[in-house]
Structure formats: C-alpha cells, structure tokens
Amino acid sequence: MPPSSNRTIGLVLAGGQAKRFGKNKSLALLNKEPLIGWTLKGLRKVCQEVWLSVGQKGMENPYRFLSWDKIFYDEVPQSGPLTALLGPLKETADQDLLLVCACDQPLLAVNLLKYLIQVALKSPEPAVVCVDDQGKILPFPGIYRRLLIKGWSSKRALHGSMRNFLKGKGARFITPREWRKFDPQGLSFFNINYPKDLEKAKGLLTITGNQPL
C-alpha cells in the first residue's frame, strides 16, 4: 500500500563525520540535552512523523533513546546530503512534504518551519529553501518533495553539489525579507560546527524561547 498523502514528515540528517567538531556532535549537550534532541523536538511541533537518516547501518544506535518513526541509511555511505535525501524521498507520496534539518541545528524557529510548510503547500516546486543576504542557498531547514528525485540516482547525487542541484531543479527560494518575519536573526540556520559554537548557542537559546526536552 502506498504511503498516505498530504503528510508533513520531518527528516533529521545525522550521517556526517563532524571532523571540525572532533567527535559525534549530534550527542554534544546543550543545556543537558543532545543537539539532535533539540532538532527532533522542533520538528515534532510541526510534523506528523519524524525520520532519521544516518550514513550506514549501526550509526543509528546512539540515537535509539529518542523516538523515530523510521530510520534510513545512505545508499552510498556518508556521501553527503544529496544521497541522504534519496531513500527518504522514495518513501514519500507525491503530495507529502519532507521537512529536512541537520542534527546540529538546535535553534529552529517553529514559526519559520510553519511558514516553509505554508509556502510549500501553495507552490508546485520540488523544493522550498531559504537564501541569505548574498543569495547563497541555505538548504536546511527546507522542504523537499518526491518530484525532486525524478530521474535521479545515488551515483548522480554522489558527485553533485546540493546548491547547484537545487538551482537546476527550479526550487522556490525564500528571501531574507520573507523569512526574517518569522526568524529575525536567522537562528534556524545556526549550525554547531566547533565546540565553541555550543557556548554561543546557550546564549541564543533565550532568544528562541526553546525549553529543554
């Protein structure tokens, strides 16, 4: 039986190697809670299901204490976000929305997530993502549809640039003028790349109003 349509499904990407952080950053604690837990919590507020994507089998084990509706592995292990999207998108129906975030984005603004969903429901494009003041694409958080992978393969994804791919697919781009109404400081796009970023995130938590899990 095909999956039901018109779902909004959250997807957390946790297949990276975190070389700059020096260890598995998704389990690093922010106010006594792991980063991946913050991302999961944000998605749970707006999604009917939340899925997890990891690089290869076994990488999901540290996250089993959290509640996932489905777990995916890269068709080509740890080959980047394009490949990580392939399996989950194959499991969606044509009308489903896949709301994708990285495991190190703890400051998601729920109002922005709701806006992305609202835009996607009214737009036919295969993806809805934001851009910064210089026009650089900010892939996550972003909305992706099954239409995005039409004629796509993991081999193609392995050698592709996420941003170039989105340009070529005719994605809908949300300008800063639009998204700042819902996330004035762009905290949803804040990633934890280095240990020092954790300290910065602690201070920023007071702006989002997020509370521990």
**pTM given for the model:** 0.90
Q: How far apart are CA 113 and CA 42, in angstroms?
A: 9
Query: Measuring CA to CA, how many Å separate 120 from each of 13, 128, 142, 152, 174?
Result: 20, 6, 10, 21, 11
Whole-number pLDDT of residue 81: 86
| Residues ≥6 apart with Cβ < 8 Å to 183 | 109, 111, 112
| Residues ≥6 apart with Cβ < 8 Å to 14 | 26, 36, 52, 53, 54, 59, 63, 103
Whole-number pLDDT of residue 199: 87
Q: How far apart are CA 119 and CA 132, in angstroms?
A: 18
Q: How far apart are CA 125 and CA 147, in angstroms?
A: 8
Q: How far apart are the first and last CA of the chain?
A: 35
* Residues 129, 120 contacting (CB under 8 angstroms): no
Q: Which class is 8-206 in CATH?
A: alpha beta
Q: What is the pLDDT along the chain (213 residues), one digit of tens a residue?
A: 344 457 999 999 997 655 566 567 888 899 889 999 999 999 999 999 999 999 888 888 888 889 999 999 987 776 788 889 999 999 999 999 999 999 999 999 999 999 999 999 998 999 999 999 999 999 999 999 999 988 776 555 555 678 888 888 889 999 999 999 999 999 999 999 888 898 899 888 876 555 433
